Amino acid sequence: MYAVVVRASSLVTAVLALLPLAAVLETAPSEARVACPSEMAFVDGTVCVDKWEASLVERGSGRTFSPYASPNGARVKAVSKGGVVPQAYISKNEAEVACKAAGKRLCKEAEWVKACQGKAATAFPYGNEHQPGYCNDAGKAPLATYYPDLEAAYASSSAMNDARLNQVPGTLARTGRFRKCRNSYGLYDMVGNLHEWVDDPAGTFRGGYYLDTRQNGNGCKYRTDAHDVSYHDYSTGFRCCKDPRREQRVP
pLDDT in tens, 7-34: 444 433 443 343 333 332 233 333 457 7
Q: Alpha carbon of 245 to those of 34, 39, 42, 248: distances in Å?
A: 6, 14, 11, 10
Mean local confidence (pLDDT), 156-168: 98
**E strands present in 36-154:** 40-43, 47-50, 54-58, 76-80, 105-106
Model confidence at 96, pLDDT cuts 50, 70, 90, reads: very high
Residue 248: predicted pLDDT? 58
Query: Is the pLDDT assigned to residue 171 strictly greater than 80?
Result: yes
pTM to 2 decimal places: 0.84
Residue 249: predicted pLDDT? 57
What percent of the chain stands above pLDDT 70?
Answer: 85
- Tens of pLDDT, residue by residue over 31-86, are 457 789 999 999 999 999 999 999 999 999 999 999 999 999 999 999 999 999 99
Residue-wise over 91-105: b if at least 16 C-beta within 10 A, else e? bbbbbbbbbeebebb
Taking CA 200 as the corner, what is the angle to CA 239 and CA 203, rounded to the nearest 5 degrees?
Answer: 90
Fold of 30-249: paralog of FGE (formylglycine-generating enzyme) (3.90.1580)
199 vs 35: which has the higher pLDDT = 199
Give dist(CA 47, CA 144) in Å, integer.
40
- Tens of pLDDT, residue by residue over 100-127, are 999 999 999 999 999 999 999 999 999 9
Mean local confidence (pLDDT), 146-175: 97
Across the chain, what does the average pLDDT equal?
A: 88
